[in-house]
Chains A and B, each alone.
Chain A
Amino acid sequence: MLDIAFVKPALPRSGALVLPLPEGELPAGLARAAEEATGGLLSRALDAAGFKGRKGQSATLWAPVPGLARIVAVGIGKPGELTPEAAEAAGGAIAPLVASEREALLAADALPPALAAHLGFGAMLRSWRFDRYRTTEKEEDKPKLERLAIAASSVPEAKSAFAPMRAIADGVFLTRELVSEPPNVLDPAEFAERCKGLEKLGVEVEIMGPKELKRMGFGAMLGVAQGSAKEPRMVVMQWRGAPRTRKQKPVALIGKGVTFDTGGISIKPAGGMEDMKWDMAGAGAVVGAMAALAGRKAKADVVGLIGLVENMPSGTAQRPGDVVKTYSGQTVEVINTDAEGRLVLADVMWYCQERFDPRCMVDLATLTGAIIVALGHEHAGLFSNDDELAQRVAAAGKGVGEQVWRMPLGEAYDKQIKSDIADMKNVGGRQGGSITAAQFLQRFTNGRPWAHLDIAGTAWSSKDLPVAAKGATAFGVRLLDRLVAEMAEEG
């Protein structure tokens, strides 16, 4: 993992020098110093390369002066208009350009210290990779850069701005790791065990196994789990960070954690089924968010609950047509065993609101393919029974570059999940499939303010993104962190 260190501005003697450059003139400081050290070669070479400082542009000068391996220029757009999000994207663009160097200095001395921190945050997020299972990769193909030094105009200010980002990055990386792990390694028990790791950050972690779940009556969740040899788990995480003087109801985060989803008896087509290892990305995001909040000592009370199961076809598997009794007492006719996420969430959500009396519940789930048909991969679907909460979730997402798009709910959609023999059925047909899934969940909110994020299109990326290499994105961690910050830590 790339480490970030903030240093006083001084031209490096070796490795790479990275210059974030705005449009127009070279900024004062290290950029000008580099121009002098190269005898004007820097600006001539940038001109020749057509580099204008526009966002997304970059140019590399090899061995511009003795000792220095390269100067990398990265465009940051019009001077003075760099936003935190754009700074992170620029940082993300820098990471792969200098990954093969042993040392690199990023010259952010002409920018406000907070933006220097965002540059570092972006570089750090983008450079994460999952190579636990590579055994034959050649040394020269591996990234070498372990520490990116960032020259800042004020080192203490940049450091203090970066401290919470480091904690958030740790949460993001935890999530990405959980999401990337193969399903033979990360089963429900192993997932729960890894949640225990949060105890060292001060999070209380409780793990419940099949016995407790059965005793409590988690019929829907157990129905999903019964086809697998792997036992289900529910993990309850509590972070009590609110000052004694400002105690309030906790914010509740709930995640779908299907460690592998074959679809069960309603089995999925073979093509692409390997992707179903990340059908626990909602739970992964909740765990990462708890780690981020605890890591930065968030002044809020937050509970995180995840339901962990594996959905397998077998002689003991749940059948289409089965009726299960949820923890809430409501019954569900299982029409399609591949609509299992909502069954797991139903029990966990009801339990959550009953035990914690939360001020709001936010659930994250890779719930439906239909949400990709509706929105694609740039937005997660947002469903909510509370306009104010929905607005807050959307604002938090916008603020951290994890965009959500509000989708409708309504009585007409709710009718689609009426069952002939039970209180409801678990699918409402192809039409409006993400909405009917959300309607199902809404029946387990007990009227609490609730928001549901369908992250099936955003949890995993088939191409590189500004601050995430292709693969697990950890979508939701930063959004939840920001939501808690703005909702529960203000004032």
Chain B
Amino acid sequence: MLGIRFRRAAPDPALPLLVPVEEGGALPEGASAAADAARFKAGVGRLLDLPAAPRRALVGLGRAPGRLDCERAGVAAARAFGSVPHLLVEARSLAPAQAAALASGLALGAWRFDAHRTRQEGPRLGRVTLLAEDPAAARAAFAPLEAALRGTLLARELVSEPANHLTTRSFAKRLEALAEFGLHVDVLGRKRLTRAGFGALLAVGAAAETPPRLAVLRWRGSFDAPPVALIGKGIVFDTGGVSIKPAGGMAAMRADMAGAAACAGAMLALALRGSPAPAVAVLPLAENAVGAESYRPGDVLRTLSGRTVEVVDTDAEGRLVLADALHHARTAFRPRAMVTVATLTGAVVRALGTERAGLFGNEESLMASLAAAGEAVGEPLWPLPIGAGHRADLASEIADIRQCVPAGGAGWAGRFIPDASHAAAFLRDFAGGAPWGHLDIAGVDTQEAPHALGPSGATGFGVRLLDALVAARFEAPDHHAAP
């Protein structure tokens, strides 16, 4: 991660300098002519290079900037100063919270995934020194943001790792390493999964060389209450299985574990900032491979819950592994709330594009909290329905439920399947009535172009949202307690 320091004085006045300015606020001396010429109005994330040596640039914060504005400005600045090894930031006019958020944005924007590069491509932004009136106060404000930041970067790294490096085994190992931060990590292997009856997870992972795993991460918190449970889809690679995907774009399927990565990142954030809220992450890890042991369309699986599922399409594997994970989370931990996070359906991308993730659930107030958390941190959601018809569509002729609806129904409309709602309707059955929210992040886990909160590539979507959700809703022992 970008090295970030808050100092009262500049270590070296010859460093390139970034000056954040508010919309309508005063510009630094000598900057107004350039600002006028370039029509720079200090809108959020707008940059203006001033004619100076060493390099000096303004970044706009917008009007009355809050956390998100400052973060976005930081991301934009990091992009502009990407090849500056050490950047100085004039943050003395900012409140500590604003300076902290700007720093968080700089780190989000400067992140790169270089694990598999063998050659350095020139200098990189590696250090930032923020000048602050009260460095201690800025540092204190930065601490909780840094926790979410580190969680986000962990998720980005995991998502970026290719599937030959991030297997179910190595994913589990990397999760076990989080014990260092105070998380309790337990990984269930094939034997324990078989004994317990994780029929769906085992079927999805059956054809792969590396066997399925269930990683359970626990954060004790500081009060005695049922935990909030985060359940993330961790398909380390998704070929589609026997219902194999088209070749074009299949490489992106290394990111099909972004839900699990987001949950792991959120757990790390909670641990790093010492959240009082007890929490648990239940992460089913599997590779959906093609092989002689593959499960088939038409198979009937017995899930951990005892419910049987008719498989229609082996490429709808996420909901299967989540079904077992949800049931385990619910029965093993009696959580006060459960949130599933998954790159679950192409349908949600069709519905909402790459701007917003789909939000589903069975409890309005939990859904409202999730939506509010998403807006607050710049990971926006949009609610989508689970209608009676969606559940009715999942009636199976030979099992308790079918996993999805085959494409190609009657008429013109038969081509269009509301699969995101179907998947959510499926999962709801396995939530068993506990308060449950579900984020379908298939459109937002990776961005093709640089975006408001980072460079192109893995976004870490969900970490900041889940951290904010826990902070807003679950850090009081009795408030919103499950009945």
Contacts and interface: CB of A to CB of B under 8 A. Distances in A.
B411 A275 contact: yes
Contacts of B254: none
Interface in B354-404: 354-356, 382, 384-385, 387-390, 393
Interface string B403-429: 000000111111111111100000000
A376 B416 CA distance: 8
Interface residues of A, number: 36
| Complex A-B, nearest 10 residue pairs according to Cβ-Cβ distance, in ascending order | A432-B353, A374-B351, A372-B416, A376-B418, A275-B412, A272-B412, A378-B387, A431-B353, A373-B350, A272-B411
A470 B64 CA distance: 55
A353 B389 CA distance: 37
A374 B352 contact: yes
B443 interface: yes
11 contacts: A369-B415, A373-B347, A374-B352, A375-B421, A376-B393, A378-B385, A379-B385, A407-B382, A431-B353, A431-B443, A433-B350
A405 B413 CA distance: 18
B418 A432 contact: no
Contacts of B166: none
A413 B353 contact: yes
Given A373-B419, A376-B418, A436-B353, 14 more contacts: A268-B412, A272-B411, A272-B415, A374-B384, A375-B351, A378-B388, A378-B389, A379-B387, A405-B385, A407-B351, A430-B349, A432-B353, A432-B355, A462-B409
B351 A376 contact: no
B174 to A, nearest CB: 31
Interface of A: 268-269, 271-276, 369-370, 372-379, 405, 407-408, 410, 412-413, 416, 430-436, 456-457, 460, 462
B68 to A, nearest CB: 15
Contacts of B443: 431
Contacts of B412: 268, 272-276, 369
A376 B390 contact: yes
Contact of A408 (B356, B385, B388, B389): B356
A412 B413 contact: no
Contacts of B419: 373
Nearest to A434: B351
Nearest to A457: B413
A115 to B, nearest CB: 23
A435 B349 CA distance: 11
Nearest to B443: A431
B354 A431 contact: yes
Nearest to A374: B351
Interface of B: 347, 349-356, 382, 384-385, 387-390, 393, 409-421, 443
B388 A431 contact: no
Nearest to B349: A431
Q: Which of A268, A273, A410 is most buried by chain B, counting CB atoms within 10 A of its CB?
A: A410
Given A273-B412, A275-B412, A369-B416, A374 B353 contact: no
A281 to B, nearest CB: 12
B350 A432 contact: yes
Nearest to B409: A462
Contacts of A436: 353
A293 B413 CA distance: 31
Given A272-B412, A456-B413, A375 B353 contact: no
Contact of B389 (A272, A377, A431, A432): A377
Contacts of A269: 415
A108 B104 CA distance: 68
A275 B443 CA distance: 30
Given A373-B419, A376-B418, A378-B389, A435 B352 contact: yes
Contacts of B413: 272, 275, 369, 372, 377, 456-457, 460, 462
A259 to B, nearest CB: 15
A434 B99 CA distance: 40
A85 to B, nearest CB: 14
Nearest to B390: A376
A290 to B, nearest CB: 27
B390 A370 contact: no
Contact of A375 (B356, B384, B388, B393): B384
A424 to B, nearest CB: 17
Nearest to B410: A462
Contacts of B414: 272, 462
A436 B412 CA distance: 21
A373 B347 CA distance: 6
Given A432-B353, A433-B350, A373 B385 contact: no
B355 A410 contact: yes
Contacts of B353: 412-413, 416, 431-432, 435-436
Nearest to B389: A378
A408 B384 CA distance: 11
Nearest to B348: A374
Nearest to B347: A373
Contacts of A435: 352-353
Q: Which of B347, B349, B355 is most buried by chain A, counting CB atoms within 10 A of its CB?
A: B355
Contacts of A375: 351, 384-385, 418, 421
A458 to B, nearest CB: 10
Contacts of B415: 269, 271-272, 369
B132 to A, nearest CB: 33
B324 to A, nearest CB: 26
Contact of A370 (B355, B387, B409, B416): B416
A407 B393 CA distance: 23
Nearest to A436: B353
